[in-house]
Structure 1
Amino acid sequence: MKFSMSSVIFPLALAHTAFSQSVRIGAPADQSSVQAGSSIVVEVDRPDTLTPSTEIALVIGVASCHNAPCLGPDLLGLGTVLYSGPFNPQFDTPADGKPPHQNFTVVIPESFQKGPAQLALFHIALVGASVEPLAQLRNITLNIL
């Protein structure tokens, strides 16, 4: 079997590019309690990077976990879509040490089932000089009151 350094470096570089473009939920905090019918601010952070990227879209949803542990968006889906549209993360001015981010004010439906729920993000971007597609799912658990 022939071994080349490029066969090791390329997958590592690709993984680094994808990781550096990863979004995360900056707010609300995992395990936060929120009132059904209330609005919350969802902060979506995207670390700064030298890798070129084009943001395509972001979807924010909330799904009831039916009073059981939340298992992630791959099993529960996104649930009720609270936001679907553009994502344009920016640094705060003046700089406050936060990564580029965007805040979305969304409303938890008044009729939403009480108990544990999953707040999920679906993020789509094009990254790198070769314009690789990147799709990500992120989630936190909320307690709906």
Structure 2
Amino acid sequence: MRPLSEIQVTTIDGQTRPLGDFLGKATLVVNVASKCGFTPQYKGLEALYRANKDKGLVVLGFPCDQFGHQEPGDEAEIQSFCSLNYDVTFPMFAKVDVNGAGAHPLYQALKQAAPGLLGSEGVKWNFTKFLLDGQGRVVDRFAPVTRPESLQGAIDKLIA
């Protein structure tokens, strides 16, 4: 499997870039959705980002519509929703699949590097979080129920 830094991602405004452009810092990768019970986590993710971005954290949001059709909008609608409702300033990306044959290569790599409960690789729901170190290695995987605020200790270990 190729390094995460070489995987191509598409920003929410349509630019294709290697993931390496966003690495080099502690990185929190999250599959997000606008109409999910966990959607208020955008607030916590943004707070984490703002509090830690100058210390070496980046949060990357990847909208996904694979769970209960909870991200039905297009990229412009998603960007507008995130901006208007949660004042999101962390990098957002084009909608991706995280599971199945069409899973984005980033999520294929993340799931392989950090399997979930009982070794299952599949992402179970929106707002699953993967924490990477500055070299792009997956350090931990967090369930959707894990509130962003509770990740500060794990982040501190990477940015200290």
Higher share of residues assigned strand: 1
Higher share of residues assigned helix: 2
TM-score with structure 1 setting the length: 0.27
Higher Rg: 1
